[in-house]
Amino acid sequence: MKILFVNNHIKGLQAVQEICSKENLLCGGTLFSEETPMLEGYSYAISPLEAGFDYTISLFDKFDEVIFLKDHDNDVVNLLQLELQKIVYQKEKYIVSHTSKILDQDKINYFGCSHTAGIGHNNQPTAYPDVLSKLLKYKYNNFGLPGQSNYAIEDLLNTYTIKNSKCVIQFTDMYRLRYMENNAVIGNRKSYDFKWNNSPFLKEENLFFNFRQLVIRIVNRLREGENKFIITHTANIDNEYAIKCTEFLYGFKEFTSNVGTCVDVGIEGHHYGVRSHELWAKKLYKKWQELYN
């Protein structure tokens, strides 16, 4: 048994010698380049930082086993080791684990926040995804994320390969930020209370810019995948930027607002009620028929 130990060039050899002694392996020292002689049946240490990335790879087939020693604090070597492991040994497994799932093409797929999830309703059949799906005579998947942001919606969408599918995307307001969720420092603050921080990143002008860019990314992706989809929007703060967001969204043929549909509230007192969801679903149905039927 001969082993190649990929290690840290500073203290790596000592660790290799200790392992070889314990396992009764012959240790030939450190390999530095192609000119370094190798004895048959011996195990060796090598640092990709010193010996080179390509030379390290070329040795893998010449040993019975390759072991990566990571008990050191050299970040450059750690990065090289990670690259070697992923490319040479775990490439197939790595790619499979990161391959997106295919979004269901036979059902309508709803993405949004708590409004899409049906918060405030005793029964899902009264929420707009169920009402709209019945009008369109499709089964559906509900991917609503209560309390989450547009960034979270985009993150979830990005876990799927989306092509020739049917989607409804409900954008939430621009004040919900990815970096303000589940954070111990600011978790006790309302996600809309952006003015507590004087950072320029939290100014409304910047939030509006980021909202526009996110919507454009999602719409372009759905169009490129030849999907049937419509988009809608909810705002928890009625101000000039809610109007700006709505004006911007009207620039997309797939957009339908929920303006004029909020006629009642849910059981907890602030989400849209049963009648509101029904009216909202009918507006979305009209847009879907206009675009796809």
Strand duo 160-161 + 101-102: pairing: parallel
pLDDT of residue 186: 45
C-alpha separations of 130 from 124, 169, 184 in Å? 7, 14, 36
Q: Which helix (H) or strand (E) holds 12?
A: helix 12-22
Residues 33 and 133 in one domain: no
Compute the distance between CA of residue 142 and CA of residue 288 in angstroms, rounded to an integer.
18
Q: Is the dihedral of CA 80, 82, 88, 91 positive or negative?
A: negative
pLDDT of residue 110: 98
pLDDT of residue 202: 76
Compute the distance between CA of residue 267 and CA of residue 24 in angstroms, rounded to an integer.
72
pLDDT of residue 97: 62
Residues 148 and 54 in one domain: no
Residues 192 and 244 in one domain: yes
Q: Which of 97, 130, 165 is the last residue of a domain?
A: 97
CB 144 within 8 A of CB 110: yes
Residues 149 and 56 in one domain: no
Strand duo 108-112 + 228-233: pairing: unpaired
Strand duo 140-144 + 65-68: pairing: unpaired
pLDDT of residue 72: 67
C-alpha separations of 277 from 99, 128, 259, 264, 282 in Å? 35, 5, 12, 9, 9
Residues 109 and 92 in one domain: no
CB 231 within 8 A of CB 215: yes
Residues 142 and 284 in one domain: yes
| Residue 116 in tokens | 């899409």
Residues 167 and 218 in one domain: yes
Which residue is it, tokens 């087939």? 61
Low-confidence residues of the chain: pLDDT under 70: 9-11, 71-72, 87-99, 178-198
Compute the distance between CA of residue 182 and CA of residue 180 in angstroms, rounded to an integer.
7
Residues 132 and 50 in one domain: no
Tell me if residue 291 falls in helix, strand or coil. helix
Residues 51 and 76 in one domain: yes
Q: Which of 76, 97, 118 is the last residue of a domain?
A: 97
Which residue is it, tokens 């203290």? 11
SS3 sequence of 62-82 = HCCEEEECCCCCCHHHHHHHH
| Residue 264 in tokens | 């009642």
Predicted TM-score (pTM) of the model is 0.70
In single-letter form, the type of residue at position 30 comes to: T
Compute the distance between CA of residue 128 and CA of residue 120 in angstroms, rounded to an integer.
12
Compute the distance between CA of residue 293 and CA of residue 290 in angstroms, rounded to an integer.
6
Count up the domains in the chain and report the number. Answer: 2
Tell me if residue 16 falls in helix, strand or coil. helix
Q: What's the CATH code of the domain at 258?
A: 3.40.50.1110
CB atoms within 10 A of CB 203: 14
**In degrees rounded to 5, what are phi and psi of residue 154?**
-65, -40
Q: Which of 74, 97, 120 is the last residue of a domain?
A: 97
pLDDT of residue 188: 41
| Residue 233 in tokens | 């929007």
Residues 111 and 227 in one domain: yes
Residues 151 and 254 in one domain: yes
Residues 129 and 240 in one domain: yes
Structural domain boundaries enclosing 126: 101-292
